[in-house]
Structure 1
Amino acid sequence: MSEAPEPRDEPFAGPRHPEPETDSDAWATACAEDLAREKARRAGPGSGTGSAAEELRRLAEAVAGKLGELGGPAFGAAAQSAAQNLIGQVKSAVGPVRERNPDVFEHLAAAGSELLSAYRAAVQRQEYRWTAGGTAGTAESDAGNGRPEGSGGSRGEHIDLD
């Protein structure tokens, strides 16, 4: 009789394949690829923003176009010429300054964006307080209306119309 081979202590691992090479900095590579794709997407036609002076010019042209559409033929022509006059004045005033100090316009645009963000946050916070009803003073306002304290619900007052 032939002897059966002794069982090995190693579990069967299947066929051996060489280990694939791993990128030691895969996260940084993925981030760089994502950033490059995002920059390419933003650089697409019509989606980028220009300098502050360029944005001001675009705004003035858009306002002039809307004014021309709103008022009909007679009013539209007058509004269009007034808007074109305004655009000409803005271009003549801003052009030389922009050429000498482009970084100033970029700084002003960034500061304006930050101010707008702060204003927007303040307005949203106040709107939330108005719509959600603040927790301060809830006990006072609920005390005389027959509802338990802090029961929420409408903060309006019941008016008997009979």
Structure 2
Amino acid sequence: MSEATERPGPGQAPDPDAWERACAEDLAAENTRRRATGGPGEQPGSAAEELRRLVEAVAGKVTDRLPLAGAAAQGAVREIVETAKAAALPVIERNPQVFDHLAAAGSELLAAYRAAVTGQEARWTRDEPAHEPPAPRAESGEPREGEAKNGGSERIDLD
């Protein structure tokens, strides 16, 4: 609010949303700047492109840590890293749709897991008993005491 036009005039109340609007404008400008320079605000590529980047980054980190090892160990590790890259990169390039589908499947599995955990947590907080599977029948095949002959259970009033 450094400009005179942004300041409230005499008798006017300050705008309660001015700070929120200014922050949103600054964030939008920063995201635009980062997209233009290709920085961290950049949108991710396809799953295949992200996997290729990961392989390159991991290979770079592994080989960067080698100065502490001996010459023979450095050579062996570099050879292993290059072999792994040579095997992985062509597969990624030939089958980019596969990795997109795997990423989507992973997202669906994560959503299913979250739903299951959320449901279980809700039952725990309400102190509901867990749904337990029915107990196995006696080895003779005869119903146990309190169990109906048709295999179901029978409620017995103990009062």
Q: TM-score range by the shorter chain?
A: 0.3 to 0.5
Whichever of the two has the greater Rg, that structure is 1
TM-score normalised per structure 1: 0.39
